[in-house]
Amino acid sequence: MHTNNQILQYEFKPRIIVWQLTTRDDTCPNRSELLEQHECLLIIDSIARLAKPIVILTGRHIIERPDLSEIVDYGSALGLKVIIELLPEEITDEIIERFQGYGTRIFRIIIDDLIIEDIDNRYKQTESFLNLERAIQRLKDKSFEIHFSYTITQPDIRKLSFNLDYAFRTAARGLYCHLRFDKTVPEISIFDDEVQSLDEFIGKISEMKTLVPNDMYLSPQCVRYTPFPDEQVDLDFSAVRHPRWIHQCLAGKTFAFIDGIGRVFVCSGMCKECGNLRDVNYDFKLIWMDSEIMNNLREYTRSCVQTRLFFKRQKEFSTYKDQIINENIEW
């Protein structure tokens, strides 16, 4: 007889793990707290024993980590597909040569805030943009595929469209989106008597997929699109218009996020911590299988908005319960 954990092990395995090896910005954890090389290798070993996901290494100035080559090499040796996200100025001839042995898809270029509309040149010719152009050419000269990483903090479809336009014009093979919506962005809003939601924005991304070549990838990393209608998918979109495709939040199902000090989150945008790898002897499988938060997410199919609202309701309930206890009222 199978236990619940054994059933989950068969049904839910990580397919994409985004790992912020360094800090996201200067306000993030102290550099002295970052995972050391031996800790990273232990985590990779644990991940590889659970599944063979794509591991996306990211973070501010990640290329400055002296052990980056060893981390990539160890993951690749264990059968993981390892990707490094770099800023354009970090892609030098020396870096390309160092990682060339890992294949033509090892790099994703971070293009956040680099593609700016310009009435005269289509794209504003800033120094950062010119660095991007030079990085792309360096990679093409060495026969690398061009792949872009783009972080979405606001549901701005025009801005996303312009980034996609640039990706298409540079013959990029993929535009990979990280959904990290700003905390001030509401899940659902009403403007001019029209209901708008983050789910609707994510649905529009699926509509844009029909405009790109078949061999070009466009999608957020943490969702999966399925055709609508699908009787097997129980989602409530009564408040918004139905797109041609609907998406499913993959947090806790096939997607996870690890930060620079070893904390595991359901994704990079919701900041819902599931455990710290340092507290469980770097056993990623233990957190993946036993986290109450992740197991709760696996019980139902949810959209991004539904997942966000699920966590908000949990927080409100927890706050209300604490107030009752503090007031010595019988629970």
Tell me the pLDDT tens digit for each residue of 75-89: 999 999 999 999 999
Question: Which DSSP category does 210 fall into?
Answer: G
The predicted pLDDT at position 193 comes to 65
Query: 11 pLDDT band (50/70/90 cuts)?
Result: confident
Distances (CA, A) of 103 to 64, 81, 106, 145: 21, 10, 6, 9
For the cut 70, the answer to whether the pLDDT of residue 129 exceeds it is yes
pTM of the model as a whole: 0.86
The predicted pLDDT at position 190 comes to 72
The packing angle between helices 304-326 and 198-208, to 10°, is 160
For the cut 80, the answer to whether the pLDDT of residue 329 exceeds it is no
Which has more pLDDT, 227 or 90? 90
For the cut 50, the answer to whether the pLDDT of residue 273 exceeds it is yes
> What are the residues facing 247 on neighbouring strands?
225
158 phi and psi angles, rounded to 5 deg: -70, -45
The predicted pLDDT at position 167 comes to 96
- Residues 250-273: what's their mean pLDDT? 92
CA distance 259 to 269: 12
95-115 tens-digit pLDDT: 999 999 999 999 999 999 999
CA distance 235 to 163: 30
If you search the block for the tokens 């024993």, which residue do you land on?
A: 49
Spatial CA neighbour of 46 closest among 34, 38, 36: 38
312-321 tens-digit pLDDT: 887 664 554 4
Which has more pLDDT, 236 or 100? 100
Which has more pLDDT, 52 or 229? 52
Burial of 277 (0-12, 13-18, 19+ CB in 10 A): buried
Spatial CA neighbour of 51 closest among 298, 262, 285: 285
Query: 10 pLDDT band (50/70/90 cuts)?
Result: low
> Are the beta carbons of 316 and 248 closer than 8 angstroms?
no
Query: 243 pLDDT band (50/70/90 cuts)?
Result: very low
> Are the beta carbons of 324 and 331 closer than 8 angstroms?
yes
Spatial CA neighbour of 52 closest among 21, 18, 85, 17: 17
CA distance 323 to 199: 33
Query: 244 pLDDT band (50/70/90 cuts)?
Result: low
- Residues 41-62: what's their mean pLDDT? 96
> What are the residues facing 122 on neighbouring strands?
118
**Dihedral over Cα of 140, 95, 87, 83: its sign:** positive
CA distance 220 to 48: 23
Q: What token pair was written down for 35?
A: 């995972």
CB half-sphere exposure, 328, CA atoms < 13 A? 0
Note the Cα 227 to chain centre separation in Å: 22
Q: What token pair was written down for 305?
A: 């908005």
